[in-house]
């Protein structure tokens, strides 16, 4: 990499007014309402000013959470049920880079092959039990979060690091007040539409195959005391934030969700 491609100062960010049809529009309105996620899950887009090298991802993400334009535009959901500006800059960030190798819903065929999902798409039910903050009443959610379940390993550790797996899992688990699906197709449809809208792809010149070019990071912003404050102060699975970067167009998408906690603990 030439010296011209190495950033020498802070990255700068500017918010872009963009509507995401798969999240804000009519496309998935009904299922997101049914799952208790409509109005809690949101996407924000920003443009940045320098080349993005993946080796410098932590600096890039920390600069993002220090940028005045971000602090004055990025919002988080409060327990009072209101959106408020981030307000405070991050002193540190925790990041986990995810895999983005999947371009087809065939990735989830193993759910059918292992009888978690019946042939017509019906999700196999089970005796109700609890895992962390979730009520588990079907084998799909067992596969997603119960590592003691016999079929848990149909998805390997690397599979579970795929961004599309994270999306699918989040939609299957839903919000605080969630009406679960009996059929898997709505989960697959919403996962596909959101995934396609937030990631960027291009055709490889040599192989002519389509490849994802967007690095994706699961992110948490920390305050001066090392405590997480974004996407929230809780440790709930469904309080999440991802940064999806388009290094070609120099766009950043923040996909986040606020989860109020399990309703059965109230």
- Dump pLDDT digits (tens) for 96-132: 999 999 999 999 999 999 999 998 999 999 998 888 8
* pLDDT of amino acid 20: 97
With bands split at pLDDT 50, 70 and 90, how would you rate the model's confidence at 263? low
With bands split at pLDDT 50, 70 and 90, how would you rate the model's confidence at 82? confident
Mean pLDDT of the chain, nearest integer: 91
Rounded average pLDDT over 194-201: 96
* pLDDT of amino acid 9: 64
pLDDT tens-digit map of 12-62? 999 999 999 999 999 999 999 999 999 999 999 999 999 998 899 999 999
- Measured CA to CA in angstroms, residue 134 lies from 163, 169, 215 at distances of 21, 12, 30
Flag the least confident range among 38-47, 130-139, 177-186, 236-245.
Answer: 130-139
- Measured CA to CA in angstroms, residue 34 lies from 151, 175, 191, 206 at distances of 27, 9, 15, 44
Residue 160 confidence (pLDDT) above 60: yes
* pLDDT of amino acid 241: 97
With bands split at pLDDT 50, 70 and 90, how would you rate the model's confidence at 215? very high
Task: Give the C-alpha separation, 155 to 43, whole Å.
Answer: 27
Residue 76 confidence (pLDDT) above 90: no
């Amino acid at each position: 990499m030439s010296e011209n491609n190495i950033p020498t100062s802070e990255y700068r960010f500017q918010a872009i007014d963009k509507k995401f049809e798969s999240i804000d529009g009519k496309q998935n309105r009904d299922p997101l309402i049914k799952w208790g996620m409509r109005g809690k899950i949101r996407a924000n887009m920003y443009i940045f000013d320098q080349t993005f090298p993946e080796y410098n991802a932590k600096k890039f993400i920390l600069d993002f959470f220090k940028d005045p334009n971000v602090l004055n535009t990025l919002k988080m959901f409060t327990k009072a049920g209101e959106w408020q500006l981030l307000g405070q800059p991050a002193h540190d960030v925790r990041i986990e880079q995810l895999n983005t190798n999947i371009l087809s819903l065939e990735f989830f065929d193993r759910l059918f092959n292992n009888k978690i999902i019946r042939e017509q798409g019906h999700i196999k039910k089970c005796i109700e039990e609890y895992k962390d903050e979730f009520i588990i009443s079907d084998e799909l959610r067992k596969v997603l979060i119960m590592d003691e379940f016999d079929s848990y390993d149909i998805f390997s550790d690397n599979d579970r690091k795929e961004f599309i797996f994270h999306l699918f899992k989040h939609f299957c688990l839903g919000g605080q007040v969630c009406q679960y699906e009996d059929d898997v197709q709505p989960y697959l449809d919403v996962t596909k539409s959101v995934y396609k809208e937030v990631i960027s792809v291009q055709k490889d010149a040599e192989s002519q195959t389509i490849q994802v070019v967007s690095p994706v990071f699961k992110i948490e912003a920390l305050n001066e005391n090392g405590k997480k404050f974004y996407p929230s102060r809780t440790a709930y699975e469904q309080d999440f934030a991802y940064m999806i970067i388009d290094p070609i167009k120099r766009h950043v998408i923040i996909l986040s969700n606020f989860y109020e906690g399990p309703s059965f603990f109230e």
